[in-house]
Each structure stands twice: as C-alpha cells, then as structure tokens.
Structure 1
Amino acid sequence: MTTTQPHTAPRSTEDGQRTIDIRSPHDGSSLGAVAVSTPADVENAIVSARVAQPEWARTSPAERGATLRRAAAVVRDNVEQLAELNEAETGKPRDEAREGVLAGAGTLEQYAELGPLHRGKTLQGDYGATDFMISQPRGVVAVITPWNDPVAVACGLLGAALVTGNTVVHKPSERCPRTGELLCGLLADVHPDGVLCRLVGDGEVGAALTGDPRIALIAHVGSTAAGRDIAIGAAGTGAKVLLENGGNDPLIVDRDVHPGWAARQAAMGAFANAGQICVSVERVYVHEAVLDPFLRALVDAAADASVPPLVDHQHREQVHDAVMAAVDAGAYRAIGGTLPSGGGSHYPATVLTDCTPSMAVMSEETFGPVAPVRAVRSFDHALAEATDSGYGLAATVLTSSMAHAQQAWRELPVGSVKINAVFGGAPGGAAHPRGRSGEGFGYGPELLEEMTTTKVVHSEPPTL
C-alpha cells in the first residue's frame, strides 16, 4: 500500500517534544495532537518486552490462547468506539470501519484456537534415541501497521505473534494514532505487563524500533519504500522480516463477459474505500471487443459511486498529481480527475482512458479512487501486460473461459488471483506476495510458522 506524510508532519514544541497534529479528512478541522514517542520510550518498550518474553514463552499455549480470546471479547465490546475513531482519523466509512473491527476480533479468536494446535514433529531415528522438531517463539517482535484497515491488520499480526509466545512492540500508523492507542491498550490490558507495548510516531520512530538488534522479527504492512528500508536494516541486525508492501493489482476483462457486470466489478475494486485498500484494482485491461459498453457502464458507476475522503491532503495531492501526469501524457478523463472545493480531502471517482504502460497510473500504485483503462487486442495481450510489473500482490480476471482462467492463475506472478470476483475468499487462505510487494506469509495459519523458529532435538541415554 502507498503511504505519504501524516496529516501534519511531526513538529517540535518549545520543550523539544515532537507532536503530530491530526486533521479530519472530512472537513480539515483539527482533531488535536498526540505526542511522538521519544528515543527513551523506544528503549523502554524494547526492554520491557525483552524482560517479559521468557515468562510469556513459558506460559502454556492453552493459557496464551485463552488470553487472546479475552482480548477478542474486549475488542468486540469496544467496536463502536474503535470504529468512531477510525472514521474520524482516516475517513473510513463507519460501517466499513465497524466491519474491520469485527474482522480483527474474529482473527484474534482464530489464532486463539490455532495457537495451541501449532505443533512439532517426531522423527524416526535410532531405536534407542528420541528425535523431534519443535517450534519456539522468536523473541521480541516489532509490528508496524497501516492506517487503511488499522484494526483488522493489527489484530492478525499481534494475535499470531502473541499466541506463539513472542512479546510485541507495536507502532501503528501515525495517521491513526488514537485508534492504534485504544486497540493496543485494550489488548495490553488483558496480557501481563510488557507482553505488548506501544509506540507513537512516524518513520523516525519506526526506524529506531526496527533497526534495534534486539528485535528478532519485524512484521510490516505499508509502503514499498518503507518495506525496502526495513529489509536493508534487517540485513544488518539479522532480524527476520515479513513484508506486505504496495501493490499494482491488475484487472483483466475478457471479451466473453457482460460489460456491465465487469464494469461494476471494476468500480467496486477501484473505488471502494476511495481505492485505499491493499488489493484495490489499480489498472484495468479490457478486450477491445467490449471496450465501449464497458466504459459507458464504468463511467455511470463512477458517477453513482459514494466515495469517502482520502486520508489527508498530502495523499490527495499525490493521487491528483498521478492523474494529471497521465492526462498530460495523453490519457483522457472520462469522468472525475478534478480537485473539489471546500475542506477535507475528498477526491472523485475517476476513470482514465487511452492509458499506456509508461504512465505512472499503470506502472505504480496510485492508492486512490482511480480506474485507468487500457484496451487490449486479446487475452494473451492483456495477460502479458498484466504480468509486466515489479509488484506481485494480487490480480483479478473476469472471464467465461475455463482455459483462460486456468492460464491466468498459473501465469500471473502474484500472491492472490481472483477469478470473476474482485474481493472475497475462503477463510484460512494465505499467500506470499512477490517482488516489490513483499515477502512471507502475513496472515492465515501459516503466519504461526513465520512467528516461530524450529529447533531439532536428538536425545540418547547416557553411556554408563
């Protein structure tokens, strides 16, 4: 996902304390300021987590799971307050924010059940020996989470880390510090002291945390640039990294699908939450045989779309700059692409046509309510251009051809392929992002494997 500067970049008060001013994405009004964690705060959090980790690791998996179930119940009890804060800080619609909170609670419950079932293996060695493999916690985990779905994403990473016996230092996004503060506080209150610690701040605080050699694993969901910096730093400290970075997810519209239905799928994928979803549709390839009716339906869908505000003015400027750069390079604004008047950081649903591969709206993640469309001659043409990307998060294919569907999921170099639905999927799935989009399992039962390290034990009786 894309990230930019916070609502207002951190500033220092007269006493040297850095603060972040939070402004409403709805109308630009001030929501107050929060203090940024100091270097001493970072040090105290890491020390507290290190001190608490051995005892938490010795706690039985069943008890850790029971603690996580209590945490899930507390999150459910505070769903309205969390959703309200999320909407106020990021502009996420209240109903969608509520769904994110409930999804987070559900994820905590899933890991509460899966954690105690996470097991090792016995090995078949000599008759007089015992051989086995056992999973053990890694130690102190740094969790860096984004603003676009702050509760659901955080609950997944925090739940998997905690239930496997790790302790955690969590830095939520500086764009939703109060949402992060409330969530982390709710979870920390049901765990022993030091098991879960929270920091507040921007990239400077994140770099101090992730660059510390006492951190055993870094789990990050955010921008490609930040993920790259984390990976470089981890190469020096030896920390394991789990990264879900940006995506440039393509949508392919085959010639044999209903153009109106395909346009509704494209609109949902590009405009939901103002395009601020990690697996939003970022570029659309449409077979020329259905291009005209598809575009008419997509423009109608954009005109009717209810688009929430972007997270802040800085991000809106980035989105608009990408749109205008495409227009300057020859793209046509079929609808949208203009800056609204008034306060807040609203941006209209935008459809661009006549797009070319060299345009940034086609080659990079825009992370806004923008649907850039490119006409293609054939399915193979669409597939070739869709795969020509350094990103590899997700892709969607709309087709009535089983052969094309089979070809697509086999050849698309992404972690998730969705056939005939831009969103959805069975619970328990997990995938590796590819290329610039990151590495490692960031969700699902496989995340428990990432949060632990495996030890092999060989034991023989002594020779007397």
Structure 2
Amino acid sequence: MTPAATTAPATELTVLDPRDGSLVGTVPAATEEEVRAAVAAARAAARDWAWTAPEERGKALRAAADRLAEHAQELAELNARETGKPVEESLGGVMAGVGTLHQYAELGPVHRGHSLRGSILAADWTVPEPRGVVLALTPWNDPVAVAAGLLGAAIVTGNTVLHKPSERCPHVGARLGEILAEALPAGVLTTVSGGAAVGAQLTAHPDVDVLAHVGSTATGEAIARAGVESGAHVIRENGGNDALVVDDDVDPAWAAEQAAIGAFANVGQICVAVERIYVHRAVAEPFLAALAEEARRRNAEGGLAPLVDELMREEVHRQVAESVAQGAVVVEGAEVPAGPGAHYPATVLRECAPGMTVMREETFGPVAPVQVVDSFGEGLRLAAADRYGLAATVLTGRIAHAQLAVAELPVGTLKVNNVFGGAPGGAAQPRRASGAGFGYGPELLDEMTQVKVVHVEMPPARG
C-alpha cells in the first residue's frame, strides 16, 4: 500500500471523493501539543478504568456498540464518500464492527487467568492485567470493522485507547470516535487525527504501552522499531501477497469464480486478497478463460468501485505495466480509464513468472496474475517462496494435498476450497513481513493484557 495522497499542509487532511474527485472536506491534524495532551489524558484515565469492574466495562462497550448501530447508515455513507467503497458494502463493514464490539463486550468480563499446581498448603494463580495506554493505528480499506476489533479488545480489558485512523478516511475515524466515546468515561477513548508525522509522534511516546497497527508493511516495520526503542508491546497485521494454488482435480469454472472473488472483492483492497495465482497446467486454459469472463462481467456491469485515490491507482497500474514489460500477457483490463475518479478495471494477466512485480509485491488492486505450474507441489513451493506470510488458499479435492499445504505453507491462515472462508472469532498470527501477534478473536484479549503470577502461602506459626 502506498502513502496517502490526502495530506495537504501538515496542519490539515484534505480528502477527495475517489468516485469523481469532488471535495469531501478537511480535518485538522493534531498539533504536537495536542498529541501530548491526548496521551496525558489517556494516562490519567488509565488507573480508574483498569479498576472498573470487568462487567461494567462490558456494559459500557455494549452501549457503545448500540450507539454505533444507530449511526451505521451515516458512517456507511461517509465511508463511501471518503474511500469509494459502495454504501451497501460500507454498511456491512459498520455492522461487522457492531458485532465485534458486542463479541468483546461478552468475552471481556470472562477473560480469566489460570490456577497453578504447587504446594498443597499454598495457592498459585495468574491474573491478567491491562497493559495501560493502547495506541491503535487503523487502515482505510475497512475502517470501522478493523478499528472495532482493536478498540473493543483494548477497552474491555481495562486499557485506555488512543486511536489514529488512516489519513485517507479522517472523517470516518473522527465520527466513529465521537459515537463510541459518548458511551465511555472521559479519557478512555481519544481520537487523534493526522498523517505520518502524528503517527510517528504517538508511536515514539514513552507513555504508550501498546502499539497495535493494521496497515502497510513499511509502516508496520517502522512501528516495530519504535516499539523496540520504547519497550511498548507491538501487535501488527501488515501487508500480504497471498497465493491461490489450483489443483488439477477441481472444476476450473468454480476455481475461476473463487479466484475472481479473492482478487476483485473490494477492488482488491483487502489484506487477504488473492494476489498471485498458481494453476495446474491440466486445467489452466479453461480456468484462464473463465477468469477472463469473470473480469469482463465485472467491468461491463458499470465497472468496479474506484480505488481509494489516484495515487493508489498509479501504484497499481505501475505494477501491472512493469510486469507486462517483463513478459506478462494481458488477458483482460490493464488500462487506466478516462474520466474523473480513481477507477481501475478488473485485470487478468497470464504468463507471469516469480520475478515479476505483481508476483513479488502486494498490489492492493483488482489484479489477478496467473502462473501455470506442472504440479500441485510446484505451486506450493512457489507460494511458499515469498517474504510475506499472511494467508493462502488452496483449491483441491485431495485430502492429502490439503494436508501437504497445511504443513508446507508458512502463513498465519490457510483456507482450503474457500478464499474467504473462516469461522466467527477466528484469529491468526501473521508471519514474516506480514506482522506478528494476534489481531482478532479471543486471543486479542491476551495481547491487550499482561499476566501477573501470584503465590500465596501461610506464614510459619508463631512460637
């Protein structure tokens, strides 16, 4: 993902509607003094919130979720204006955020420690305690749903939170903060708007105890370095270059449908989007024909929604053009359309090879690059040979091949026969350049707390 194009002077964030280039508005960026004041307020509120009964914290988070539901349509429409994501899809993201907050409101009060076996006349147990002040840095591609996970888990476990939303959707971030904060005590949740400079000041602050980031790998690596220097606990889910491996025993039309969903959903602006495809030679031609038809259908039905801004479109097209220059063949798309906005067509490339840009880097656009392989094992080997380790998908009817994929693919999440499959509450640990730590599910409560071991025994009897 590329840096945002929406920072005007350092004092404000200006956002243009990616659908037509019209002005959405400007949001003031926090000054250095305002950042320091926000951290101080979060620190001042930390002890009282940590000492609040878990049940009361759960009730407050539940009330915040209900308020979010009341304003769901407002946020969805605002999200559509800032990022170009269609209103119905944006509404789905907001409601997913509501569900996540309700989930953590239930899980938080029952988050518990463990008893330990020691002496028969002693008691030993562990106590999970809030870490303190959590900084949540969240992305623009699903701004409410992602933020709800980090904010909900942090708040319900007794932490106070500083939230810096992406500079690409500052209006959504600011309004989300207003809505949620109305249900919480002062200082528990503070929204800080700004670009890279504000983020750097926050991540380097010595009074921040947790750095929780979802976004680009380059930013995540800088945050990890800041955490080493400050001693803050770091949780990060960063970029992915997720592979799809297609076996020779599956229906090629169905496999193409799965590939199209994975590569083109949300215009490819999903961390776990399908970024590179390895298809068995035995089904390659019918698969490519069906995938091209999937792309043509999406391009003909009014086209895809726009990318988040023109800078992102330029980056996507740069990767496509470089790969074509390196020998990839365009099957569909790959042309920047005329007219206003940041639109880009669903694109299919064939004759791709490992060294090409679209196979090495996270494109974050509606691009499906395809490499033909001679065996399922070759597909797995190529899928594994990557610096990222977020997720991968295999399509196969052979249980032995599915088990081989589980053993050999170094990723946090492996999906078999469904590119976006997964149970509610699922969590994973990204690997390599894709990050570290649990970013979702019940395990995120563990990330937001630290464990104290307690040992109690009777003193010796007095003489």
Question: Is TM (by shorter chain) over 0.5?
Answer: yes
SS in 2 for 1:201: coil
Matches within 5 A, 1:40-189: 40-189=33-182
SS at match of 2:386: coil
Match of 2:374 in 1: 377
Residues 32-66 of structure 1 deviation map (CA, whole Å, 9 limit, x = unaligned): 21111111111011000000000000100000000
1:5 to 2:3 alignment: yes
1:356 alignment partner in structure 2: 353
Q: Is the 8 A contact 2:389 2:412 kept in 1?
A: yes
- 2:320 is aligned with 1:320: no
Alignment of 1:435 with 2:432, yes or no, is: yes
Query: Deviations along 1:101-137, whole A, 9 cap, x unmatched?
Result: 0100000000000001001122223333322110000
Task: Tell me, yes or no, if the aligned pair for 2:5 and 2:309 is still in contact at 8 Å.
Answer: yes
Q: Residue 287 of structure 1 contacts residue 375 of structure 1 at CA under 8 Å; is this kept in 2?
A: yes
CA distance in 2, matches of 1:10, 1:208: 19
Deviation at 1:8, TM superposition (A): 2.9
Once the two structures are superposed, residues 385-419 of structure 1 have per-residue CA deviations (whole angstroms, 9 ceiling, x without a partner) of 00000100010111111111111122111011111
Q: What's the CA shift string for 1:369-399, capped at 9, x where partnerless?
A: 0000000000011000000001000101111
Match of 1:270 among 263, 268, 272: 263
Q: CA deviation at 1:206?
A: 0.6
Q: Report the alpha carbon displacement of residue 285 of structure 1 after superposing the two structures with TM.
A: 0.4
Distance 1:354 1:452 in 2: 48
- The offset of 1:94, in angstroms, is 1.1
How far did 1:203 drift? Answer: 1.2
Please give the secondary structure, in 2, of the residue aligned with 1:181: helix
Which residue does the alignment assign to 1:259? Answer: 252
Aligned to 2:192: 199
Percent sequence identity is 56
Preserved contact between residue 143 and residue 171 of structure 1 (Cα < 8 Å): yes
Q: Is the 8 A contact 1:132 1:456 kept in 2?
A: yes
The separation in 2 between residues aligned to 1:363 and 1:277, in whole angstroms, is: 17
For the Cα contact (< 8 Å) 1:7–1:23, is it kept in 2? Answer: no
Moved more, 60-69 or 402-411: 402-411
Which residue number corresponds to residue 15 of structure 1?
none
**Unmatched tracts of structure 2, length 5 or more:** none
Once the two structures are superposed, the pairs formed by residues 279-318 of structure 1 within 5 Å of their partners are 279-305=272-298, 306-318=303-315
Q: Give the superposition deviation at 1:222.
A: 0.3
Q: Indicate the SS of the match to 1:31.
A: strand
For the Cα contact (< 8 Å) 2:7–2:167, is it kept in 1? no
Pair 1:224 & 2:217 matched: yes
Q: Deviations over 1:125-177 (max 9, x none)?
A: 33333221100000000000000000000000000000000000000000000
Residue 457 of structure 1 corresponds to which residue in structure 2?
Answer: 454
Tell me what 1:211 maps to.
204
Task: Determine the C-alpha separation between the residues in 1 that align with 2:130 and 2:6.
Answer: 38
**Where does structure 1 lack aligned partners over 5 or more consecutive residues?**
13-17
Q: Give secondary structure in 2 for the equivalent of 1:169.
A: strand
Query: Given the two structures, how large is their TM-score scaled by the length of structure 1?
Result: 0.97
Aligned counterparts of 1:152 and 1:236: Cα–Cα separation in 2: 30
Q: Secondary structure at the match of 1:268?
A: helix
How far apart, CA to CA, are the structure 1 residues paired with 2:151 and 2:125? 28
Q: Tell me what 1:234 maps to.
A: 227
For 1:417-444, what per-residue CA distance to the aligned partner results, in whole angstroms no more than 9, with x for missing partners? Answer: 1111111211121110010000000000
- Are the counterparts in 1 of residues 6 and 168 from structure 2 also a CA contact under 8 Å? no
Q: Secondary structure at the match of 1:352?
A: strand
Q: How big is the shift at 1:359?
A: 0.7
Inter-partner Cα distance in structure 1 for 2:415 and 2:442: 20
Choose from 330, 344, 350 the match for 1:333: 330
- CA offset at residue 230 of structure 1? 0.4
Distance 1:122 1:393 in 2: 34
Q: In structure 1, what residue type is equivalent to 2:9?
A: R
1:347 equivalent to 2:314? Answer no
1:50·1:167 contact (CA, 8 Å) conserved in 2? yes
- Using the alignment, how far apart are the partners of 1:67 and 1:349 within structure 2? 43
Once the two structures are superposed, the pairs formed by residues 395-406 of structure 1 within 5 Å of their partners are 395-406=392-403
- Shift of residue 460 of structure 1? 2.8
Residues 78-121 of structure 1: CA deviation (Å, up to 9, x unaligned): 11001001111001111111111010000000000000100112
Aligned equivalents of 1:178, 1:9: Cα separation in 2: 13
